């Protein structure tokens, strides 16, 4: 099973990705960039995409934890990118405008 958000893979086909999130950007990304946060969360920006995606490699207790770990990693990525390249991009309505997903061994989608 595969899936994407604005052309960025959500990681369903990667067994090392346990959960993740997608967020809307205030303006499209000016570049492609892959970043691994200090917590090991992988963050993906794609040029001209209005979204950013985070792949979380470890299990989170609940949806609030997925949101917090993903949001923290995405903010870290955007901050680092802005400092390094002067490409400043911000999230838009992150608290309300996001997509969360996680693997559940009890549920099989076909």
Instruction: Please give the model's pTM, rounded to 2 decimal places.
Output: 0.88
CA dist 60 → 43, 66, 101, 104 (Å):
17, 6, 11, 11
| For residue 10, pLDDT beyond 50 | yes
57, part of any domain = yes
> Residue 28, SS3?
coil
Percent of the chain exceeding pLDDT 70 equals: 92
Report the chain's mean pLDDT, rounded to a whole number: 88
If one counts the domains in the chain, the total is: 1
DSSP conformational letter for 25: B
Residue of higher predicted confidence among 73 and 58: 73
Q: 12 and 103 in contact (C-beta within 8 Å)?
A: no
65, part of any domain = yes
Calculate mean pLDDT across residues 50-58: 94
Report phi then psi at 81, rounded to 5: -60, -45
Q: What is the pLDDT of residue 110?
A: 44
- 53: pLDDT confidence band, cut at 50, 70 and 90? very high
54, part of any domain = yes
Taking only the tens place, the pLDDT of each residue in 26-51 is 999 998 999 999 999 999 999 999 99
The boundaries of the domain holding residue 56 are 4-100
């Amino acid at each position: 099973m595969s899936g994407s958000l604005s052309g960025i893979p959500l990681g369903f086909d990667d067994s090392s990705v346990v959960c993740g999130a997608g967020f809307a950007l205030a303006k499209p990304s000016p570049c492609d960039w892959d970043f691994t946060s200090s917590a090991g969360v992988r963050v993906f920006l794609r040029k001209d995409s209005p979204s950013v995606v985070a792949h979380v490699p470890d299990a989170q207790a609940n949806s609030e934890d997925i949101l917090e770990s993903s949001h923290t990693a995405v903010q870290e990525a955007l901050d680092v990118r802005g400092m390094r390249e002067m490409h400043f991009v911000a999230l838009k309505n992150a608290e309300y405008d996001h997509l969360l997903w996680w693997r559940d061994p009890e549920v099989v989608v076909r």
